[in-house]
Amino acid sequence: MKTDLPDDYILRFTGPAETCVVVWTAAKNPHKAQIPLEDGLYTVTSFDGKKQSQLPALGGSISLTLDGGPVYLKRRINASSATRSSQ
């Protein structure tokens, strides 16, 4: 996925029941970034597996502070919408 800064990274994995986006930066200093995501509620998990919070994506993005540790954003996919999108 495209980022605003060359040192920021976003990887997206989509399965039948869940979307997972991994974000981090190689920049020396932590900074805020807009992560482009489908609207919905995302569970935020740190690189060490600790669930930190749930954040809503509104208007197609989430604002998140990035640092060197990957952050995982997971969203459950509604079964009925997954069926419609695969047809």
Domain boundaries, the chain: 8-79
Q: Give the angle 59-29-53 at the CA atoms, nearest 5°.
A: 45
Question: pLDDT band at 1, cuts 50/70/90?
Answer: low
Arithmetic mean of pLDDT, 3-19: 88
Arithmetic mean of pLDDT, 39-59: 90
33 in Cβ contact with 71 (< 8 Å) = no
Q: Does residue 8 register a pLDDT over 60? A: yes
Please state, for a pLDDT cut of 90, what percent of the chain lies above it: 61
Query: Of 73, 75, 16, which Cα lies nearest the Cα of 40?
Result: 75
CATH class of segment(s) 8-79: mainly beta
